[in-house]
Amino acid sequence: MTEAIHIVGAGPVGTLLALLLARRGQRVHLHERRADPRTAAAERGRSINLALAARGLRALEAAGALERIQGGMVQMTGRMLHEESGATRLLRYGQRANEVIWSISRAELNRELVAIAGESPLIELSFERRCIDADSERELLRFHDAVRDVEHEVAAGIIIGADGAGSAVRQALAAQDRCHASEEPLEHDYKELHIAAGADGRHRMEAHALHIWPRGNFMLIALPNRDGSFTATLFLPRTGAHSFATLDSAARVQQFFAAQFPDALALLPNLAAQFAAHPQSPLATLHCWPWHAGRTLLIGDAAHAIVPFHGQGLNCGFEDCLVLDALLQKHPDVAQAFAHFEAERRINTDAIAQMALENYQEMRDTVRSADFESRKTLANELERLYPQRFIPRYSMVMFHPEIPYVDALQRGIAQERLLDVLLSQNIAADSEAARQLLFEAGL
């Protein structure tokens, strides 16, 4: 295609898509609201990270970017559960050595992707250029240029909105009645806190784990950073007995952490100051349909933002890029490729949205129960006996990109029913009866 593709948003999804498209000779123009991350100073005191898993890694590899970002990743082999007493135990994510996930700084990931994009002669990058309107019929984009403080229009042709959960492209489509979007808010908000490295520059808790303090209706988690620090996130209801509303003074914050997360408090000497300074942010699932109008398309969080509890939002956005790139190669008609993209992806993004919500319950509560451990042990045994037929749902989502999310959801339901029967009737995993039940369940 000789015509350039205009991508709004040089976040991780927009930039990765640009890299994939450019690899097969496609010209791309990336328009980003923020300053150029290669030269702009990073936000001070914030080192927010996220977890990458197989789906995300596969897309980074296809774009030729994995090698460049690998050095910034910290391996996490499982969940380190912290009890109220301070006692800890590690629950491994998978059974094989490669069944691990990776913590990475968002800013570093984005900066490196932009740096790679900047090296491609086919990718034009424009920063401090905020999209304020997108017209899918006239194929126009309107921007506010922050450097010159002027507005201007670009004849864009093919437009891809990768501008995140608050997407301006989506809002423009909705205003033209070309799509309908609604948010399903979670009643819990989140706040990020920084756990500094020790005086020796090393991690003050196990570095290769995702730490969780599950407390029933709320939780604290912490992911390791390369520099020896951790980024902790408190997920808590907005209102109610234990809620952000009740944490309205330094003393109350201190008391709450002392009662609920005493070992984390010991690592947060400046807790009250951080708590006051860092924003309390909402979480929601975005429902939007359709994702395309003519030759304008939404992708990543702009189309299907989800709650973060499966650590899949970005992994899923990266997977979007792989699917779209393949469809654009297959269908020379761009509008047709976009229609296929929607048809293929929507069932999968709906599935991961549901699993992400369900995983919150698991992380903050179920993970603590003895029943959870016995189910996990049995599930692992079944996986060892029938590796092609029984794969725990978490593993399907995180370690098996060849299994679409929607299949992981459906197989997960059948597997849970099987576990119910085996456990309630005390049937051993390696028995003939278990084998029969597995086949009868269609697994």
Ligand X SMILES: Cc1cc2nc3c(=O)[nH]c(=O)nc-3n(C[C@H](O)[C@H](O)[C@H](O)COP(=O)(O)OP(=O)(O)OC[C@H]3O[C@@H](n4cnc5c(N)ncnc54)[C@H](O)[C@@H]3O)c2cc1C
Element containing residue 257 per DSSP (H, E): helix 250-260
Q: Which is nearer to ligand X, 51 or 418 (CB)?
A: 51
The closest alpha carbon to 162, from 270, 65, 19, 38, belongs to 19
Residue of closest CB approach to ligand X: 11
Phi-psi region of 146 (alpha: psi -120 to 50; beta: other; left: phi over 0): alpha
Give just the sign of the alpha carbon dihedral 325, 330, 332, 334. negative
CB of 363 to ligand X, least distance (A): 12
Q: Which is nearer to ligand X, 308 or 401 (CB)?
A: 308
CB of 15 to ligand X, least distance (A): 8
Contact set with ligand X (CB under 6 A): 8-14, 31-34, 50-51, 130-131, 162-164, 168, 190, 233, 300-302, 308, 311-315, 317
Token pair in block for residue 305? 């933002």
Give just the sign of the alpha carbon dihedral 190, 89, 420, 431. positive
* H-state helical runs in 24-134: 54-62, 66-70, 106-118
Q: How many angstroms separate the CA atoms of 33 and 359, rounded?
A: 33
Q: Which is nearer to ligand X, 17 or 271 (CB)?
A: 17
299 CB-near residues (< 8 Å, 6+ apart): 13, 14, 17, 160, 161, 162, 291, 317, 320, 321, 324
Q: Which is nearer to ligand X, 284 or 406 (CB)?
A: 284
Q: How many angstroms separate the CA atoms of 261 and 257, rounded?
A: 5
Single-letter residue type at 306: I
CB of 31 to ligand X, least distance (A): 6
CB of 235 to ligand X, least distance (A): 8
Q: How many angstroms separate the CA atoms of 368 and 365, rounded?
A: 6
Token pair in block for residue 173? 């489509």
Q: Which is nearer to ligand X, 400 or 435 (CB)?
A: 400
CB of 143 to ligand X, least distance (A): 7
Token pair in block for residue 171? 């809002």
Q: How many angstroms separate the CA atoms of 71 and 380, rounded?
A: 31
Q: Which is nearer to ligand X, 190 or 390 (CB)?
A: 190
Q: If DSSP states are collapsed to H, E and C, what string results for 127-142?
A: CCEEEEEEECCCCEEE
Q: Which is nearer to ligand X, 46 or 384 (CB)?
A: 46
CB of 58 to ligand X, least distance (A): 13
Q: Which is nearer to ligand X, 367 or 382 (CB)?
A: 367
Q: Is the peptide bond before 269 cis (omega within 30 degrees of 0)?
A: no
CB of 81 to ligand X, least distance (A): 18
CB of 440 to ligand X, least distance (A): 36
